[in-house]
Amino acid sequence: MSTLQFKNKWVLVTGASSGLGAEIARQLATKHGANLILLARRKEKLEQLKSELETDTGVAIKILIADMSKPNQVDQAIDQVLTEGNLYAAVLNAAVTYFGPQRELSWGDYETMLQTNVNAVVRMTNRLVEHFESSGKEGGLMIVSSMAAMIPIPYQAVYSGTKSFILGFATALRHELKNTNFSITVFTPGGIQTEMTGGEKFNNLRNWLAPVAEVANDSLKALQQRKLTYIPGFSNRIGNLIFKLMGRKFVLNQMARIYRKSLFNK
C-alpha cells in the first residue's frame, strides 16, 4: 500500500477551529500543499484560519459549520463533504473533555461528550468507509483517540471511556476493509498544549503536555504511512510499557494522586 500524498488533494479536518485540529490543518497546507475542508462549530475561528492559510499558502479552503454533538448537523456536514466526490483523506479530531470528579459531571455534559467523541465519529466513519469502499478510490482516514484509551485517566473517566471505544472500534474496523487503497489510522496522543488544556486545573500537569506542532507533525506522518495505531512521543510509549509491566492498579493509583493534586492542590 503506497504512502498518502496530500499535495493538491482535498482533506477534511474536524475540530479545526483550535488546538490540534487547527495545527494539523496548518501543516497540511504549509508542508503538504493540501486543499482543506475545515469543520468546526466556531465560524469566526474557521474564517480566521482560512484567511491565514489562503494568504500564506495559496491552497483552496472550504469551511463547514457544524456542532458535532448534534446528529443532524453531523449528517448534513458529511453529506456536503461527500457530494462533490473529490475527498482524499479525513482527520476526525473533534472532541470535548471534562477534568474533574465524575460525580460533578452533569448529565447534559456527559451526553454532549458522548455525542461528540463517539456518536459523531462513528456516524462520519461509517459514511467515509462506505464512500471509499464503494468507489475503490485511494485515500485515508485518521481518527484521533488518546493515550487515555490505553491508560484510563482518573478524573477524566468518561473521556477515557469515549477514547477507548474509538480505539477499539477503529482498530477492528480497519480489518473489515476490502479497498486496499484505503486505510484507517488511529492516533493516540498524550496531553497536548492546547486550548483544551489551558485551564487552571491543568497547572500542575504543564510539564507533561507536548507542543501541539510536534504532535500534529507526528499525526500526519502516521496518516501518510497508513499506521494502524500510533503513539507519538518517546515518553508516551515508555508510559504505555510501564503501565503494562507494573500493573494497572499501581499506575492508576499514582495517576490519581497526581491529577488530584493538580485539581485540588492537595
Each residue's pLDDT tens digit, 186-231? 999 988 875 554 455 555 554 557 789 999 999 999 999 999 999 8
Structural domain includes residue 5:
no
Structural domain includes residue 104:
yes
Structural domain includes residue 4:
no
pTM higher than the cut 0.85: yes
Q: What is the edge-to-edge ordering of all strands in the sheet holding 182-187?
A: 61-65, 35-40, 10-14, 87-92, 139-144, 182-187, 229-230
pLDDT of residue 191: 80
Structural domain includes residue 71:
yes
Percent of the chain with pLDDT over 90: 70
Rounding to the nearest 10 degrees, give the CA dihedral for residues 228, 177, 7, 215: -20
Structural domain includes residue 3:
no
Residue 75 has pLDDT above 90, yes or no: yes
Please give the Cα distance from 263 to 240 (Å, whole number). 23
Domain count, the chain: 1
Structural domain includes residue 1:
no
Structural domain includes residue 154:
yes
Residues 6 or more apart in contact with residue 148 via CB below 8 angstroms: 156, 159, 160, 163, 164
CA-angle at 167, arms to 260 and 235, nearest 5°: 55
pLDDT of residue 114: 97
Please give the Cα distance from 10 to 178 (Å, whole number). 22
Between residues 84 and 172, the one the model is more confident about = 172
Structural domain includes residue 2:
no
User: Residue 250 is part of which domain span?
Assistant: 10-264
Please give the Cα distance from 128 to 52 (Å, whole number). 28
Each residue's pLDDT tens digit, 82-105? 998 799 999 999 999 888 889 999
pLDDT of residue 232: 84
